[in-house]
Amino acid sequence: MADSTLWWLAAGGLIAVELITGTFYLLMLSTGLVAAALSAHAGLETKWQWVIAAAVGGGSVVAWYFYKKSSPPTAPAQSNHDVNMDIGATVHVTFWREDGTCSVKYRGAQWTAELAAGETADSGNYTIAEVIGSRLILKQTHTF
């Protein structure tokens, strides 16, 4: 069997494992195997195929690691607008109960809401900062 065929089979196997596990780093390593297969098609010696596989695959992993490390962390799901469209919506609070909760009408239903840490309990407009279960966490809306 040709060297390139072995490299292609190994790359396909690694991609299949990546699809099952969801480990993106395996996909980066498979790029090294694809580069080795292409170098085998180009007629390079086996030792250079291994060097190219290691350099491209390892380089991809290192590049992805530093890219992820330099990108800002994502917000937790309960306070991430990309996950929950309610984050950032505005509700009106008429009064607060003594336990720090209130009832607000939002999206046609009554919701129990509570203040985010450090907020004061005044009537007025509030922005939804988090959704924890069926409870809204509110921050006071600042108007300038």
pLDDT in single tens digits along all 144 residues of the chain: 888 999 999 999 999 999 999 888 999 999 999 999 999 999 999 999 999 999 999 999 999 999 988 988 877 776 777 777 888 889 999 889 888 889 999 988 899 999 988 888 888 899 998 888 889 999 988 765
Architecture of domain 77-140: Beta Barrel (2.40)
Q: What secondary structure does DSSP assign to the chain, as a single string?
A: --HHHHHHHHHHHHHHHHHHH--HHHHHHHHHHHHHHHHHHTT--HHHHHHHHHHHHHHHHHHHHHHHHHSPPPPPGGG-TTT-TTTT-EEEE----TTSEEEEEETTEEEEEEEPTT----SEEEEEEEEETTEEEEEEPP--
Residues in the chain: 144
Specify burial of residue 134 (Cβ count, 10 A radius: 0-12, 13-18, 19+). Answer: exposed
User: Quick one: pLDDT at residue 143?
Assistant: 63
Can you give the pTM of this predicted structure? 0.57
Q: Where are the domains of the chain?
A: 3-70, 77-140
Token pair of 15 as six digits: 């991609």
